[in-house]
Amino acid sequence: MKRATAQPVERPVVTGDAEALAQRVLAATPISKPVEMVAEVLTLTAAGGSQRKVATATGVSASTVGRIVQAARELDEDTAAGHPTERVLATAS
């Protein structure tokens, strides 16, 4: 039986304050985790941690890690589109 290979994931790189970005993610989503935990998820993901490894390290489910990262990316897109908030996230190649 062949095992499915995971697709590479674009990782957000936190270029500003991780806690401020975490607060924005929590304000924009129904995610109900402490701000410190969301900031840790963003920091570990930005450092190159896989969704599964970040989930294991933080105790947050892998699907929630994915939702946090996706919300951060969407906030970044809103910022790049000219919304008057500081750009705090860039996508790594």
Here the tokens at position 36 are: 């410190």
- Per-residue pLDDT tens digits for 7-29: 444 555 454 578 888 999 999 99
Q: Interior CA angle at 69 toward 20 and 66, to 5°?
A: 140
CB neighbours of residue 69 within 10 Å: 22
Paired with 90 in beta bridges are: 13
Res 88: pLDDT: 44
Q: Model-level pTM greater than 0.85?
A: no
Q: Please return the burial class of 38, using the count of CB atoms within 10 Å of its CB with bins 0-12, 13-18 and 19+.
A: buried
Here the tokens at position 60 are: 């947050």
- Per-residue pLDDT tens digits for 21-71: 899 999 999 999 999 999 999 999 988 899 999 999 999 999 999 999 999
DSSP-derived 3-state class of residue 85: coil
Nearest CA among 61, 65, 74, 66 for reference residue 24: 74
8-state DSSP, 39: H
